[in-house]
């Protein structure tokens, strides 16, 4: 399958049309942004790492009954995915307190929750992705009640599968963000990416951060963290 015209350029990926209207090609960049795009930088090798890791995890999730947009990895940075309309919700699951949760509720990072939490943000750059609940999502017409229920179920399934998988690699899955899309027939599938850009990964022994927080918080060792996660997943 070949790229035709560029449809979209986001902060971390480009999306191209193909000859087939049901498929698009995503191309992962090394560009990194944080805080609504106000902090900008480059993480060398990130595009290839996120592409390969996300595809690996999407395949693992498919095997565990979660439908995804994944079709075929073309090369280090490019993947064919099913064309979807993105549901404008960022779906965040948390197992351990960190980031905006710790800040919002005035708690330390690292509290292990008795049960995972779910939250939604409205994907809207002008409004800075405000936190909303499922009633707000329904009121705003972002998704139907049935779609929201499916998304919740799928997100918790993703958490069960990934949390267990990462633990076998000596990594705690602290929290992560998912996005879902609709196929042309309305089927909801997991879309976007699952990578150190969109998850918090802590080493299970030392709690060392192995994700994009090293970039967001200027902790140094950003590339090393991405490479370490790549090594744990692929042994390279
Ligand atoms: P938060 O604690 O900043 O709300 O982030 C929760 C999780 O979501 C964390 O794993 C990072 C991820 N995330 C994204 O993937 N994109 C974003 O724009 C934000 C704010 C967070
Ligand atoms: N990539 C997001 C942004 O630039 C935020 C993040 O991942 O921290 O807004």
Q: Is the CB of 33 under 6 A from ligand 2?
A: yes
Report whether pLDDT(236) > 90.
Answer: no
Q: What is the 1 CA–ligand 2 centroid distance (Å)?
A: 30
Question: Where does the pLDDT of residue 173 fall: very low under 50, low under 70, confident under 90, or very high at 90 and above?
Answer: very high
* Neighbouring residues of 228: CB distance < 8 A, sequence distance ≥ 6: 210
Name the band, by pLDDT with cuts 50, 70 and 90, for residue 231.
very high
Atom of ligand 1 nearest to the CA of 199: 10
Is the CATH number of domain 3-82 3.10.310.30?
Answer: no
Helix 222-234 and helix 46-63: axis angle, to 10°? 40
- Is residue 9 predicted with pLDDT exceeding 80? yes
Question: CB–CB of 159/130 below 8 Å?
Answer: no
CA of 198 to the centre of ligand 1 (A): 6
Q: What is the pTM of this model?
A: 0.98
pLDDT of residue 27: 98
Assigned architecture for domain 85-224: 2-Layer Sandwich (3.30)
Give the number of the atom of ligand 1 that is nearest the alpha carbon of residue 197.
15
Q: 141 CB less than 6 Å from ligand 2?
A: no
Place of tokens 């990895």: 73
Q: 3-state class of 34 per DSSP?
A: strand
Closest C-alpha residue for ligand 2 atom 9: 36
Structure-block tokens of residue 181: 């899309």
Ligand 1 probe mutation, 53, 99, 120, 131, most atoms within 8 A of CB: 99
Q: Which ligand is nearest to the CA of 176?
A: 1
pLDDT at 73 over 90: yes
pLDDT tens per residue, range 146-166: 999 999 999 999 999 999 999
Other CB atoms within a 10 A radius of the CB of residue 86 amount to 13
Ligand 1 centroid to residue 219 C-alpha, Å: 17
Q: Where does ligand 1 bind, in terms of residues with CB under 6 Å? A: 92, 98-101, 175-177, 198-200
> What pLDDT is recorded for position 96?
99
Tokens describing residue 144: 């139907």
Average pLDDT over the chain reads 98
Overall average pLDDT of the 53-69 stretch: 98
Cα(2) to centroid of ligand 1, in Å? 32
Q: How far is the CA of 201 from the centre of ligand 2 (A)?
A: 16
Residue 134: its H or E element: helix 134-139
What are the residue ranges spanned by the domains of the chain?
3-82, 85-224
Rounded to whole angstroms, the Cα distance separating 113 from 116 reads 6
Same CATH fold, 85-224 and 3-82?
no
pLDDT computed for residue 18 by the predictor = 98
């Amino acid at each position: 399958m070949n790229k035709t015209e560029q449809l979209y350029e986001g902060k971390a990926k480009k999306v191209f049309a193909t000859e087939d209207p049901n498929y698009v090609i995503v191309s992962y960049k090394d560009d990194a942004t944080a805080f609504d795009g106000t902090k900008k930088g480059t993480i060398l090798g990130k595009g290839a790492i996120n592409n390969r890791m996300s595809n690996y995890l999407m395949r693992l999730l498919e095997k565990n009954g979660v439908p995804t947009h994944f079709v075929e990895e073309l090369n280090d940075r490019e993947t064919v995915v099913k064309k979807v309309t993105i549901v404008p919700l960022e779906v965040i699951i948390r197992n351990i307190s960190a980031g905006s949760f710790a800040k919002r509720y005035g708690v330390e990072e690292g509290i292990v929750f008795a049960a995972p939490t779910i939250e939604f943000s409205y994907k809207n750059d002008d409004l800075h992705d405000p936190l909303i609940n499922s009633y707000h999502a329904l009121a705003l017409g972002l998704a139907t009640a049935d779609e929201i229920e499916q998304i919740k179920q799928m997100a918790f399934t993703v958490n069960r599968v990934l949390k267990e998988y990462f633990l076998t690699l000596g990594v705690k899955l602290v929290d992560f963000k998912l996005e879902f899309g609709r196929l042309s027939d309305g089927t909801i599938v997991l879309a976007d990416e699952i990578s150190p850009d969109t998850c918090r990964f802590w080493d299970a022994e030392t709690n060392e951060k192995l994700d994009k927080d090293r970039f967001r918080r200027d902790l140094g060792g950003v590339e090393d963290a991405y490479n370490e996660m790549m090594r744990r997943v692929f042994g390279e």
